[in-house]
Amino acid sequence: MVVLSRLIPAFLAAASGSTYPCRVIEPDPLQQIDRTWVSFRGRKLSYFSGCDYFRLSTHPEVLSTLRAGLKRYGWSVAASRMTTGNHVLYKQLERQLAQFFEAPAALLIPSGYLTNLAVAQALAGQWSHVLIDEAAHPSLSDAANAFGCPVLSFGHRSAESLEAAVSRCGAGARIVLLTDGMFSRDGSVAPLKDYVQVLPRDAMLLVDDAHAAGVLGAKGRGSLEYAGVDRKRSIQTVTLSKAVGTFGGAILCSAALRTKVIEKSHIFIGSTPLPLPIVCATRQALKILRADRTLRERLVQNTQFVRDGLRNRGLVFPETPGPIVAAKPKSAAAEVKIRASLLKAGVYPSLISYPGGPPSAYFRFVISSEHTRAQLDNLVAGLADCGRLIEPLASVGVPV
């Protein structure tokens, strides 16, 4: 759910500080090929962007299932699930999702971005305050406003700041907390267990686990499993376009909340559901993710390989749980040199700007289970050769 952009500094020649003015333009077209490569301006480059962590979007079995689903079911039910579009495949996938994540129930939503808003529509009017991480994903910010009550932000990943915000709400407050499980900008995670300890007992957590689902936890169940937080106080939303490699989203929750979303969310009621071939492909991807434990093992190994390689070359990056390396250029001129170094190493220079994130662009590299050691070596070399031009991660504005 990150917007990949090529940013052009406004005053490239004159820029010399750690931040610089820039404008966002439409990214150049990219053609992903061979799972971990991209065709860019006539060159084949290693691709460390996007968040298809296991490259299931191009897995042969997933693609075969997609084609078979298209042939058997056609493309779309062309109707809301609340009218004539409630195909049996939706219920089958929801049961499969609930089983994979060990949740009481699941409900499919046509877009991962809209899962949080659908929850907010269903629960509007039931809470006195929304508390939200100041660096939360925009989908959570949109959802916060839909709850219909005051919204207070707290410091990024700070239980101490959260406790102060709880105190400002006053005695008897009914609180719902909104946060990403794993933050896509740097791979850090929310301290959910610490949050539970400072929240009132009747508070609820809405955790956007778009990037943690399938990645974190012993069995890939996401940030709740990773933190050891009980589901009784938590609502988990997931995006199927990341670790699962397909499309759409789902709410993992109680059976009662599932019913409430069906009854009250205009997003659910008024939307055409996922195309049936995508449902078929998602079911197959989940089977692979559940059966092949080596996927997560390779993801961890590849991530550690990159971090160790950078450390051995004098660049120290935080040991965040997520398979993401973020590097901020010290200046606009440094950005140009880093891009050149990465291109020389055969790596696509993924410079991004994120809503609510750092004021200037930074490079973000997402490791997958399918990158080869040669590709990982090239990434390390491309960054290490211009290490003096990179700010420490803390300067990116994302505490870890």
Class of 75-291 per CATH?
alpha beta
Nearest to 361 by CA among 7, 70, 2: 7
Tens digit of pLDDT for each residue in 330-375? Answer: 999 999 999 999 999 999 999 987 655 556 789 999 999 999 999 9
Asked whether the predicted pLDDT for residue 99 surpasses 90, the reply is yes
Q: Select the more confidently predicted residue: 105 or 40.
A: 105
Asked whether the predicted pLDDT for residue 23 surpasses 80, the reply is no
293 token code pair: 């434990």
Tell me what pLDDT residue 387 has: 86
Nearest to 59 by CA among 309, 284, 271: 284
Tell me what pLDDT residue 25 has: 65
Phi/psi of residue 26, nearest 5 degrees: -65, 135
Tell me what pLDDT residue 14 has: 28
pLDDT (mean) for 229-243:
96
CA atoms within 13 A on the CB side of 106: 23
Tens digit of pLDDT for each residue in 173-192? Answer: 999 999 999 999 899 999 99
**Burial state string for 315-346 with b = 16 or more CB within 10 A and e = fewer than 16:** bebbebbbbbbbbbbbbbbbbbbbbebbbebb
Asked whether the predicted pLDDT for residue 284 surpasses 80, the reply is yes
Percent of the chain scoring above 90 in pLDDT: 82
Tens digit of pLDDT for each residue in 37-67? Answer: 999 888 999 999 989 999 999 999 999 999 9
| Topology, domain 6-58+293-396 | Aspartate Aminotransferase, domain 1 (3.90.1150)
Break the chain into its structural domains and give their ranges. 6-58+293-396, 75-291
In the chain, how long is the greatest CA-to-CA distance? 62
Asked whether the predicted pLDDT for residue 7 surpasses 80, the reply is no
Asked whether the predicted pLDDT for residue 261 surpasses 90, the reply is yes
Sign of CA dihedral 300, 303, 309, 313: negative
Tell me what pLDDT residue 360 has: 72
Query: Other CB atoms closer than 10 Å to residue 14's CB: what's the count?
Result: 11
Nearest to 181 by CA among 150, 152, 214: 214
Asked whether the predicted pLDDT for residue 120 surpasses 90, the reply is yes
pTM of the model: 0.91
Tell me what pLDDT residue 318 has: 83
pLDDT (mean) for 325-330:
92
Task: pLDDT band for 8, please (50, 70, 90 cuts).
Answer: very low
DSSP 211: T
Length of the chain: 400
Cβ-count burial of 30 within 10 angstroms (0-12 exposed, 13-18 middle, 19+ buried)?
middle
